[in-house]
Amino acid sequence: MIQDRVYGYYIGQNKSCAESIFLAANDEYQLGAGPECLKMIGAFSGGACCGSFCGAVAGGCAAIALRTGPVDLDAHSNPEMREKVKAFVQAFQQAAGSELCRDVKEKYFAEGERCLRTVELAAQILEQYMA
């Protein structure tokens, strides 16, 4: 399960929220993402580095996109991916109260473990949309 893997990345390797979710999903579902994908997803850490869209959610969205449909299928032509991403974001919003990093961080951040609870919550929800 993704949730079983995120701790190792987030705490064990000091990866960001976005990186941890994406790496855990990549491992669990053998998505085949290379180092350039990890570098790219890192830009969404900390709410795109400004407290906006939660990095854990962004990492989950990227994992769903990579898993859903062939790699040469663009987003406009992939309604299954679009529906899964929308449902994942809505489920996270409902569980956490927001999809914005600054709001979620206020609720879930803890000294010594940063946003581990947020990352674990996103991982738990993401499992439902990776099938």
Contact 19, 9 (CB under 8 A): yes
DSSP structural state of residue 127 = G
79-119: pLDDT as tens digits: 999 999 999 999 999 999 999 999 999 999 999 999 999 99
pLDDT at 131 over 90: no
pTM (2 d.p.): 0.96
Distance (Å, whole) CA 93 – CA 28: 24
Contact 75, 82 (CB under 8 A): yes
48-74: pLDDT as tens digits: 999 999 999 999 999 999 999 998 999
Contact 96, 104 (CB under 8 A): yes
pLDDT of residue 1: 94
